[in-house]
Amino acid sequence: MRSRSVLKIIGRLLMMIGVSMIFPLLWAIYYGENEVFVFIASIVITFLAGLGLSEIRSNDEELRLIDGLGVVSLGWAIISAFGALPYYLSGTLNYLDAYFETMSGFTTTGATVINNIDILPNSILFWRAMTQWLGGMGIIVLAVAILPALSIGGMQLFGAESPGPKIDKLRPKIRETAKILYGVYLIFTGAQIILLLIGGMSLFDSFSHTFCTLATGGFSTRNDSIAYYNSPFIEGVITFFMFLAGTNFILHYSALRGKINYFKNKEFLFYITIILSTILVMTFTLNNSIYSSLSDSFRYSSFQTVSIMTTTGFTTSNFDAYPALSRIILLVLMFIGGCACSTGGGIKNIRIILILKYFYREIYKFLHPNAILSIRVGEDTIPEDVIKGVMAFFIGYITIFVISIIIVSSYGIDLITAISSVAATLGNIGPGLGLVGPMYTYALLPDFIKVVLMFCMWAGRLEIFTVMVLLVPDFWRE
Amino acid sequence: MRSRSVLKIIGRLLMMIGVSMIFPLLWAIYYGENEVFVFIASIVITFLAGLGLSEIRSNDEELRLIDGLGVVSLGWAIISAFGALPYYLSGTLNYLDAYFETMSGFTTTGATVINNIDILPNSILFWRAMTQWLGGMGIIVLAVAILPALSIGGMQLFGAESPGPKIDKLRPKIRETAKILYGVYLIFTGAQIILLLIGGMSLFDSFSHTFCTLATGGFSTRNDSIAYYNSPFIEGVITFFMFLAGTNFILHYSALRGKINYFKNKEFLFYITIILSTILVMTFTLNNSIYSSLSDSFRYSSFQTVSIMTTTGFTTSNFDAYPALSRIILLVLMFIGGCACSTGGGIKNIRIILILKYFYREIYKFLHPNAILSIRVGEDTIPEDVIKGVMAFFIGYITIFVISIIIVSSYGIDLITAISSVAATLGNIGPGLGLVGPMYTYALLPDFIKVVLMFCMWAGRLEIFTVMVLLVPDFWRE
């Protein structure tokens, strides 16, 4: 890794983060909050740190792939360190908690350590929502342009379809793709804000919730999350945009250009099938057990299913009090997550499809030892390299999951909390079950557990490989 | 599948099972129990059914691999149906429960539906222990000779090392290998019986517990399992033989011929490392929390670790009351299981090694895209086909696990019970956590759940593939 070049780029990103803090500053001024100075200080510190790093002298050669990896993995961690300043300087949280909350924001996880959100100043709430929105922007580019170029976790195939001109070098390509995707992201942002305003939400809340929907983040400005509004219309709007946010953005880009490809895409079909069948099962399970009418049962099931499956984590009900079947299904959905090239986390639907096809192929091959069978998705034959990447991703995901629950439970935390807190952070969902269920926060967990869960958010968000590569000594060679 | 030839062989196996019921019959006569007629009836029915099947006219051609598969998967299910007769005819259990208990026996799982074992007649207890011992014999041959020949789940490599003359045809090879392995199995059986007698156990109990140790089965003749004897010597003997039973029997065969290869075998080193480090962690975790002395803590930790890791399932303490860390570690051990070519269940140590190496290779390949890296274990290079089989096995194991816990929890069973009951049956351990913990049995579970868990035992014991192949329509073509 060329650490100078990497730090230089991270410096530029930091400057952008510093500048973006102007928006919460404006809200602080508008509402006359004491946090005006907090944000000014945060902006100055972040911007100057960024400026300092960006002035590092380097040969400024074209970045190699491995350097891109350094930018992504280290960048996410360093930016979170500065993004934590507003929470810390305002006295809202101690530094570790502030870092946790910011990592949870930038990774669009939505796990919170703040017990009482209702009393927070609006400027802090806005920054909290903005970390998710910015994180979502980062992820979209990461998922569509950077990770595929890096052949991470079998995603090369899906990046090959990325829109925009084919450019050989990494940076110009990222720039072009980013422009296109940000266009889509901004259009969705505008549309959702307008719809939420129509639904009767305040301008401030509309902005905040839109930011956290499109990033599949799930931070709310209310302790009761979306349940606060008790409005089927608002729930419907958010459900719809969570669903879009968990879908491949390349499909959205095509659709906005007039080519509706959704139902030709096997991953989308798988994604929507799982969502619809879960809603069906949950509606009937919850009817007569939790809710007294089929319509209520459908209303809460569909919101919660889409929220968890897309890894958003907004809540309209305490799903931890649901019957065992619904709880376990939601836990399983946490692992599946969104589609490739979306802001959703988890293993991703396309990988689940490939994993299952791999299994069936080996069974089939057993009966027909001489058959040469390639794995196909729709009309595409999937190269063996992609399959290997997917399998390795799956192993890495499960390995981190298992090691993390062992560590978490070493603090005497009950098994359901341990399992679900790791699943909910590694999959970038947010709320889990038990002590990290919808009625609680991550605040009471011991500090070291918070560090482990931050690692899970980070590793999950960066598709495992990007973070695991840091463990290979060769990576650190200049 | 040539169903006639397959049924013919299953018929012969049934006749053998019928004959083996003479041993519990002898105990029934010796103790003057009412079950004399139960066993006579069971023997007659089983033997005649076997005779009937073995008289099926077939061309008696050499069996193809696929037919071997049919013998194994269908055989296990059919034999259990007849092995259930003594429980059923004696009125001990209804037929479903009797089938569950027998499947649990022949698969050497050790999950029981009998709440009060202490009041059972000795003849029934002996048959119960014998199902495990016979199951263990079946598994050894399955694991060393049959599954590798069938290239099941990446086990071809390990079977290639199988002792005995190299014979091309399947049946003579199985016969030769079986002879050698049964020699080892019988020597261990004799040795353990003698040591348990020295430890003060009755002859009857020594036989029964030895049978269930070497098969890594875990049925006891006592409600309190091994805790009943409260003897460190007996616990030591059983721990030692459980450990041996979970080790590759080919290594034992070499050792008995004077070639000690244990510490040259990477899987054995991995297996012993996990066991020792778990004992270390658990001893310190349990000291001052559950036990007041380090020696007690070590005594119970070591027994329980070896019992769960080898997938035996004997208990000397209520490990479900242990702190969260110990419980989750035991749950993880249930997935790892024994070594290849042992009577232990689970995913198996060698597969875990290969899965982790696969992951590391993909990470490494990322940094060195042009490197051609094969996976090595010790001095052996592992062919890619083996790796693929292992990966498919892993996917199949996880898939069955996930689907089963969803089904189990659909009956409103709590998550810990659902997760651990599936883990404990799929891995052929026996006791789990929660409602299937060491203080409880599987008796109270709804019938349909018992059927699901029986499927798990069967699929887990037959290394997933053997059972999953039944789902491919081509398999059923004559």
A66, A366, A368 member nearest B367 (Cβ): A66
In the prediction, which pLDDT does B158 show?
59
Q: Chain B within 8 Å of A389 (Cβ-Cβ)?
A: yes
Disruptive mutation site among B325, B390, B417, B462 for chain A (greatest number of A CBs within 10 Å): B325
Q: Chain A within 8 Å of B280 (Cβ-Cβ)?
A: no
B288 vs B84, which has greater pLDDT? Answer: B84
In the prediction, which pLDDT does B367 show?
79
Query: What residues are paired with B287 via a beta bridge?
Result: B291
pTM: 0.94
Q: Which residues of B touch A394 (CB under 8 A)?
A: 395
In the prediction, which pLDDT does A167 show?
45
User: pLDDT digits over B34-58, tens only?
Assistant: 999 999 999 999 999 999 999 988 7
| Non-local CB neighbours of A199 within 8 Å, separated by 6+ positions | A229, A231, A233, A234, A237
Query: What residues are paired with B375 via a beta bridge?
Result: B382
Q: Which residues of A touch B152 (CB under 8 A)?
A: 366
Question: Smallest CA–CA separation between B323 and chain A, in Å?
Answer: 6
Q: Which residues of B touch A358 (CB under 8 A)?
A: 391-392, 395
Structure tokens at B95: 């037929």
Return mean pLDDT, chain B.
91
In the prediction, which pLDDT does B176 show?
80
| Non-local CB neighbours of A272 within 8 Å, separated by 6+ positions | none
Going through B103-259 in order, the beta strands assigned E by DSSP cover none
- Decide: residue B414, CB within 10 A, 0-12 exposed, 13-18 middle, 19+ buried: middle
Q: Chain B within 8 Å of A329 (Cβ-Cβ)?
A: yes
**Per residue of chain A (478 residues), what is the pLDDT tens digit?**
788 888 999 999 999 999 999 999 999 999 999 999 999 999 999 999 999 999 988 776 667 777 888 888 999 999 999 999 999 999 999 999 999 999 999 999 999 999 999 999 999 999 999 999 999 999 888 887 777 777 667 666 565 455 544 445 556 677 787 888 899 999 999 999 999 999 999 999 999 999 999 999 999 999 999 999 999 999 999 999 999 999 999 899 989 989 898 999 999 999 999 999 999 999 999 998 899 999 999 999 999 999 999 999 999 999 999 999 999 999 999 999 999 989 999 999 999 999 999 999 988 887 787 888 889 888 888 888 889 889 999 999 999 999 999 999 999 899 999 999 999 999 999 999 999 999 999 999 999 999 999 999 999 999 998 888 888 888 887 7
Angle at A435 between CA A433 and CA A441, to 5 degrees: 100
In the prediction, which pLDDT does A46 show?
97
User: pLDDT digits over B313-337, tens only?
Assistant: 999 999 999 999 999 999 999 999 9
Q: Chain A within 8 Å of B388 (Cβ-Cβ)?
A: yes
In the prediction, which pLDDT does A156 show?
66
User: pLDDT digits over B413-432, tens only?
Assistant: 999 999 999 999 999 999 99
Placement of tokens 């909050």 in the chain = A33
CA torsion angle A391 A397 A403 A404 (round to 10): 180
Angle at B57 between CA B52 and CA B60, to 5 degrees: 115
In the prediction, which pLDDT does A407 show?
96
Restricting to B residues 197-226, those with a Cβ less than 8 Å away from any Cβ of A are none
Disruptive mutation site among A359, A365, A465 for chain B (greatest number of B CBs within 10 Å): A359
Is the CB of A363 less than 8 angstroms away from the CB of B468?
yes
pLDDT of residue B167 exceeding 50: no
The 3-state secondary structure of chain A reads CCHHHHHHHHHHHHHHHHHHCHHHHHHHHHCCCCCHHHHHHHHHHHHHHHHHHHCCCCCCCCCCHHHHHHHHHHHHHHHHHHHCHHHHHCCCCCHHHHHHHHHHHHCCCCCCCCCCCCCCCHHHHHHHHHHHHHHHHHHHHHHHHHHHHCCHHHCHHHHHCCCCCCCCCHHHHHHHHHHHHHHHHHHHHHHHHHHHHHCCCCHHHHHHHHHHHHCCCCCCCCCCHHHHHCCHHHHHHHHHHHHHHCCCHHHHHHHHCCCCCHHHCHHHHHHHHHHHHHHHHHHHHHECCCECCHHHHHHHHHHHHHHHHCCCCCCCCCHHHCCHHHHHHHHHHHHHCCCCCCCCCCCCHHHHHHHHHHHHHHHHHHHCCCCCCCEEECCEEECHHHHHHHHHHHHHHHHHHHHHHHHHHCCCCCHHHHHHHHHHHHCCCCCCCHHHCCCCCCCCCCHHHHHHHHHHHHHHHCCCHHHHHHHCHHHHCC
In the prediction, which pLDDT does A157 show?
59
User: pLDDT digits over B194-224, tens only?
Assistant: 999 999 999 999 999 999 999 999 999 999 9
pLDDT range class, residue B385, cuts 50, 70, 90? confident
In the prediction, which pLDDT does A165 show?
46
